[in-house]
Each structure stands twice: as C-alpha cells, then as structure tokens.
Amino acid sequence: MAATAPAPSRRLNNASDDEIGRMRAPMNGSAYLDYNSGAPLRPLVAEAMAACWTEAGNPSSIHGPGRAARRRLETARAQVAALVGADPHGLVFTSGGTEANAQILAGSGAERLIVSSIEHPAIAEPADRAGAATIPVGRDGIIDLAALERLLSEDDRPALVSVMLANNETGVIQPVAEAARLAHAHGALLHCDAAQAAGRIEISLAALNADFLTLSAHKMGGPPGIGALVLADPSFPVAPFLLGGGQESRRRAGTENLPGIVGFGTCATLVGDDLNNPATTSQICTMRDRLERAALTRLPQAMTIGAEAPRLGNTACLALPGLPGRTQVMALDLAGVAVSAGPACASGRQETSRVLTAMGLGPDIAGSAIRISLGWASREGDIDRFLAAWTDLARRKGFTVSQAEAA
C-alpha cells in the first residue's frame, strides 16, 4: 500500500493571498504559453529549495547533518510517490524524465521494445536505435490497440511496451490501462511516460496498471534537472543506469540532488492540492477553450489538432496551413508571446513534427502547427495577448481575419 506523504503548508512562511497573487502574475508583462516545455518555478518551491542550500549534510552520511538530509530526501520521496499513488520504496530519483526513460528502456530485461509512434524523443530516439516496433495512431492521435495486440502476438520474446499518458504536442490522452491489459496478457511489461500528464490530470499507478512510470519536476513548476522512475513493484530488479555508489537502493549511483529533490517533493504536494481543487483545473481548461474558439472564429482556415480526442485541459495545438510553425513562433516571440512548434528538445531542427506526421497529417498542416500550453500562472490577459499577436501576424501574411473577432 502506498505511503501517505507528509503535507507541508501550501503557504510557506504564511504568505498572504495578495502575495500568492503576485507570485502568479505574468512575468515581465509577457505572455508565457509554453508550459509543456517547462513551467515557471513555483515561488514556494524555490523557497523550499533555498532552505536546503544553507544546510550541510550528505544523505548517505550517518552523522547528524547526514541523517537530517536523509529525512528531507525521504519526505520528498513520499510526497512525489503520493502524487501517483505509488509506494515510496519504488521511486528512484533521476536527473530528469529523459534519464528515467533511458534507465527503463535499457534496464527492464526485455528482449524487444514496442513503443507508440507519438512518443517523446527521449523514448523515440533510443527506441529507433534499438529497432523497436511501433504502434500506429489514428488521425485523432490515439494508439491503435488492435495493432498493439498484433505486435504482441507475432513474437513471444519478453517485451517492454512504452506508451505515454498524454502527448506533449497535442495533449491527447492515451488508453494506457487498456494497453497495459494487452501487454500483461502477453507476458509483457508496460512503461508509461507521464511527464506531461503529471500535475494536469489525476494519476493512479494502480488504475493505469503500469509497471513503470516516468515523472519530471519542471513540467509541473518544479526545478529542472530532477525526475523519477517509479516502479509498481519496488522489488523489480531494474538494472542501474549509473554505477559507482549505493544511492537510491543501488538503482542509481551518485550523490542525490537534494535541493532539486526537495523542490520536486514540495511541487508534488502543491499540484496535488491544485488537482483536488476543481476551480483551479477548470479555470485553465476554460482559458484554453476560449483561446481555441476565438482563434478558429477569427481564422476559419485554422484547425485544432486532436480536438476530437480526450486531451489535457492546458494544451492547444493550432495549425494555420500556409504559415510555417517556426515563422509563427518567431513572430510571436517578437510580440512578447512564448509558444512552441514541436517538442522543446527538437526546437533547433527544421524537420516536420514526427507526432503530427504519425497522425496522418500532411506537411501543409504538420508544418504549420504551433503548441500553446497553459499552467499555474496563466491569466486571461495571456490569451488576449496571444490572440492579438497571432491574428495580426496572419493579417500581415495575407490571411483574411474576421473583423468582428479581431477587434
């Protein structure tokens, strides 16, 4: 049974409501709408981390300062595990989601890999090198479960199936529990990259029936450079990716990043509070829906990708055929609006989105898509600023904009 995490105060140092409001204000008057790349650090997380920087002590040391550091580490472990209903003993802290993904891909003991065709590059690129089989998706961006069953049936070698919980570009939520049922029926294990979904929807490791789960702090408003691999069975003999020490129950060598881990734990508690408050999650979804409605009214030739499927409430993927996504991103940046085209880790490349191509979208649509993603500090003014800048760009590029909505 999963342990219950200690619940620190939501307001460290008794911050007032006015102070919390200022913490959540847009940064420098700009509109930051790229939370799926990385959320702004929550001020209460920064405060918790700062408290660690003045404390000495290695969590592996047995003296007093070391034991105090160990207590902080294990408190954070319980907090992060509680966010997904996991046993803290099965949670391995890593340097981020990419390392956690790499560890399970290399260390599960499986003889073959099966991954969805819309995985994040942290899964897709090593899977390509390993010659993994891929699960196709429909035009709605949802994996083809019948195809997964065929892939499982055609080879009886032990397999690891990897299916993300929510796509980072479209926000489309995948039927992970059904994929896990098929995998287990064929003696395979299932890994779920939940980095984009964590903090945005409720996650239960038991309900997903996943064997392994990946988390990343910076997607939720925690610090960058810290993530976790969660094992449903804490005794599973996952092979260590890094050697040279007994940390993390000998599953990940190296002195733990204690400030980052404490920040991760604090962030997990804060987003857990948010998920328990329907007003918080519905506010973000309402802003996203307003953005999409206004965008399509002003520019009817635009389209929302993945709108026919279950999606994260914070993510909009808009395509405007005839206007390259990279052009839109750069022009919006000059207007003080931050969005993205494709995953952040591939932002320096010129290639068309692998995810949108897998969904069967042609280059004219896939190459013209941008992603707008909201989060804990987003405000209605951010939406207004995006709409004004986006429609102004479209008008300058020769698109006809509805005058009634563009005003």
**149 shares its domain with 53:** yes
Which of 274, 304, 321 is where one domain is finished?
274
What is this structure's pTM? Answer: 0.90
Q: Which residue has the tokens 């046993």?
A: 87
Q: Does 188 fall in a domain?
A: yes
Q: Is residue 8 part of a domain?
A: no
Look at residue 14 and tell me if it is in a domain: no
Residues 292 and 390 in one domain: yes
266 and 191 in a single domain? The answer is: yes
Q: For residue 19, is it within any domain? A: no
- Coil, strand or helix at 65: helix
Residues 193 and 211 in one domain: yes
Asked if residue 287 and residue 261 are part of one domain, the reply reads no
- State the burial class of residue 154 (Cβ atoms within 10 Å of its Cβ: 0-12, 13-18, 19+): exposed
Tell whether 64 and 122 lie within a shared domain.
yes
Q: Are residues 223 and 313 in the same domain?
A: no
Quick one: 250 and 387 in the same domain? no
- The structure tokens 């620190």 sit at 8
Active-site annotation, residues: 345
380 Cβ partners below 8 Å, 6+ apart?
287
The token duo for 308 is 């026919």
Count of structural domains within the chain: 2
Regarding whether 360 and 323 lie in a shared domain, the answer is yes
Residues 207, 304 within the same domain: no
Q: Whole-angstrom Cα distance, residue 271 to residue 399?
A: 40
pLDDT digit of tens for each residue in the chain (407 aa)? 333 333 343 443 344 333 344 444 444 568 999 999 999 999 999 999 999 998 888 999 999 999 999 999 999 999 999 999 999 999 999 999 999 999 999 999 999 999 999 999 999 999 999 999 999 999 999 999 999 999 999 999 999 999 999 999 999 999 999 999 999 999 999 999 999 999 999 999 999 999 999 999 999 999 999 999 999 999 999 999 889 988 898 999 898 999 999 999 999 999 999 999 988 889 999 999 999 999 999 999 999 999 999 999 999 999 999 999 999 999 999 999 999 996 554 444 556 899 999 999 999 999 999 999 999 999 999 999 999 999 999 999 999 998 755 44
Element holding 192 (H helix, E strand): strand 189-193
Residue 150, phi then psi, degrees to nearest 5: -65, -40
Domain boundary among 274, 289, 306: 274
- 320 within some domain: yes
Q: Which of 274, 291, 324 is the last residue of a domain?
A: 274
H or E element: which one contains 326?
Answer: helix 325-334
Query: Which CATH number fits the domain that encloses residue 346?
Result: 3.90.1150.10
- Answer for the pair 345, 121: CB distance below 8 angstroms, yes or no: yes
DSSP labels, 82-127: HHTT--GGGEEEESSHHHHHHHHHHHS--SEEEEETT--HHHHHHH
**What's the rounded Cα separation, in Å, for the pair 343 and 102?**
18
Length of the chain: 407
Q: Looking at this protein, which amino acid is placed at residue 179? A: A
Task: Report whether 253 contacts 242 (CB < 8 A).
Answer: yes
186 & 314 share domain: no
Domain that holds residue 327: 278-400
18 in a structural domain: no
Domain contains 231: yes
Which positions ≥6 away from 81 have C-beta within 8 Å?
Answer: 2, 3, 5, 87, 88, 90, 91, 230
* DSSP secondary structure letter of residue 346: G
Residue 228: in which H helix or E strand, if any?
strand 227-231
Q: What share of the chain is helix, strand, coil (3-state, %, to 5)?
A: 45, 15, 40
**28 occurs within a structural domain:** no
Long-range pairs for 29-32: beta carbons < 8 A, 24 or more residues apart: 29/336, 30/336, 30/337, 30/338, 31/336, 31/337, 31/338, 31/381, 31/382, 31/383, 31/385, 31/386, 32/338, 32/377, 32/378, 32/382
Indicate if 96 and 199 belong to the same structural domain.
yes
**25 DSSP assignment:** S
Residue 192 sits in a domain whose CATH number is 3.40.640.10
DSSP state letter for 353: P
